[in-house]
Structure 1
Amino acid sequence: MPPNRLTTNPRRTNAFVWCVATICTIISIAVIILGVTVVVGYIVIHPRVPIISVVGAYLNDFLYDGVGHLQVHMIIRIKAQNDNQKAHASFSSSRFTLKFDERKIAYLENRAFDVQKNFSVDFDYPVTSSVIPLNAEQMELVDTSLRDDRVSFELEGSVGARWKVGPLGSFKFDLNLNCVLNFNEIPIRFLTTRGEHLSLKDVSLVMENGDEWSIKLLNESSKVWLHHGFAKFLEFYSIKQGQ
């Protein structure tokens, strides 16, 4: 007798499974193409985040009346830099806060602007603060600053930047600025109670050993006083009142 043959009906894959497999394949190919596009786009375009920074600060006047009132005049130069070679950058309106010992003394504001590709723009902000009342600690800080001939201010704020990177789309970042402005050789002038400026002149004290000390003279009410720099001179030579 011939051997019996076992016959079975072949199984057919469900149509739903085929649809899912096809969709997954299409998604995988799309992800691969997108990944390759992003990598190639980054290599070709090489996008960079725009930069906001302080590139210069000039203290023109440091006006102090000696009894707790301060006023400053300065110019702060802020640079907006776009290092993207393929796209221009748009900066939103900005507002920066200038502080002295955490006390707000002025605001620096600018409207929205654009920076062309691979370019930078400098903005000069003239700052004239109102007369600032100081507390006891801040008065002591001013006295220390005058003695050391060094004063510091804080500048902080943020600005939004947006730029389009070819087929990769548009990107947006918030650029934060937080820095300390240090000034040496304070251009001190003094305020009277009426807000008038008192004149200061420089003199030199020459010692027997040839050392020379620059002292500022304060001319007030027809009297001349040894002022800025004189305290440091007394401290260096350990000279006390009455000696």
Structure 2
Amino acid sequence: MPRPALGPQRRTNAVIWFAAMICAIVAVAVITIGIFVIAGIVIKAKNGNIKNHVRFYGLELILALHGLQIAKLVSKPFDVKKNDSLEFFYLVKSNQIPLRSVYRDYVQSSLKKSTASLELKGTTTTRWKVWVLDSVKITLHMDCDLHFVVPNGSLSTKSHCRSKSS
């Protein structure tokens, strides 16, 4: 019987196969996480008026990375009682966004500083009941610069928001 040119045939150890399967599962998980980004965002609507409740409608906020839109947050009309607040939790599921080199450089620079910066901009309209018959309508414009600490995702003290009403 002819002998194999490379030596006797050997089988791969079961431990090696097990380690290879674990590595494959981890690789698939990392790829999946890279494709889908899931973020939780809490928006708080506050009514500091102790006499009147307020109705918010047309709430539309854009979450962006250095001007590149990542997500659009929209809400149905809602009421906030006198001197109360209401929180909304948005679960944002985003597909992977291919970044141009300018955005890649921006993200890499931010990660080296252990921060991630996002912008949150948008508008909503409020309607305040004044007495029994009349109401006042005000449009609010919001512009926030949000800075997060990368390791734990907490909001940095450098974050700030501006709002204008018209």
TM-score, length of structure 1 as denominator length: 0.46
Unaligned runs of 5+ in 1: 1-63, 189-243
Larger Rg belongs to:
1
Bigger RCO (CA 8 Å, 6+ sep) = 2
Q: Give the match for residue 77 of structure 1.
A: 42
RMSD across aligned C-alpha pairs, in angstroms? Answer: 2.4
Give the whole-Å Cα distance in 1 for the aligned partners of 2:61 and 2:49. 25
Give the whole-Å Cα distance in 2 for the aligned partners of 1:83 and 1:128. 32
Shift of 1:186: 4.1
Give the whole-Å Cα distance in 1 for the aligned partners of 2:106 and 2:112. 10
2:91 to 126, 129, 141: 126
The reply to whether residue 138 of structure 1 matches residue 103 of structure 2 is: yes
5 Å-filtered alignment, 1:29-108, equals 72-108=37-73
Q: Is the 8 A contact 2:58 2:123 kept in 1?
A: no
Amino acid paired to 2:98: P
Amino acid paired to 1:185: V
Unaligned runs of 5+ in 2: 1-29, 154-166
Give the whole-Å Cα distance in 1 for the aligned partners of 2:121 and 2:70. 12
2:149 to 184, 199, 209: 184
Shift of 1:164: 1.4
Give the whole-Å Cα distance in 2 for the aligned partners of 1:148 and 1:171. 45
Once the two structures are superposed, residues 64-115 of structure 1 have per-residue CA deviations (whole angstroms, 9 ceiling, x without a partner) of 98xxx87542211111111222221111131111101100111111100111
Q: Give the match for residue 56 of structure 1.
A: none
Give the whole-Å Cα distance in 2 for the aligned partners of 1:71 and 1:101. 20
Shift of 1:167: 6.3
Q: Give the match for residue 115 of structure 1.
A: 80
Give the whole-Å Cα distance in 1 for the aligned partners of 2:116 and 2:136. 39
Could you list the runs of 4 or more consecutive aligned residues of structure 1 that deviate by over 3 angstroms after TM superposition? 69-72
The reply to whether residue 147 of structure 1 matches residue 112 of structure 2 is: yes
Amino acid paired to 1:87: N
Give the whole-Å Cα distance in 2 for the aligned partners of 1:71 and 1:186. 19
Q: Give the match for residue 51 of structure 1.
A: none
Give the whole-Å Cα distance in 1 for the aligned partners of 2:101 and 2:122. 27
TM-score, length of structure 2 as denominator length: 0.66
Aligned residues: 122
Give the whole-Å Cα distance in 1 for the aligned partners of 2:121 and 2:36. 19
Once the two structures are superposed, residues 125-177 of structure 1 have per-residue CA deviations (whole angstroms, 9 ceiling, x without a partner) of 11121110100111111211221111101111010000112268311111112
- The verdict on how the C-alpha distance between 1:185 and 1:152 changes in structure 2, with shifts beyond 3 A counting, is same
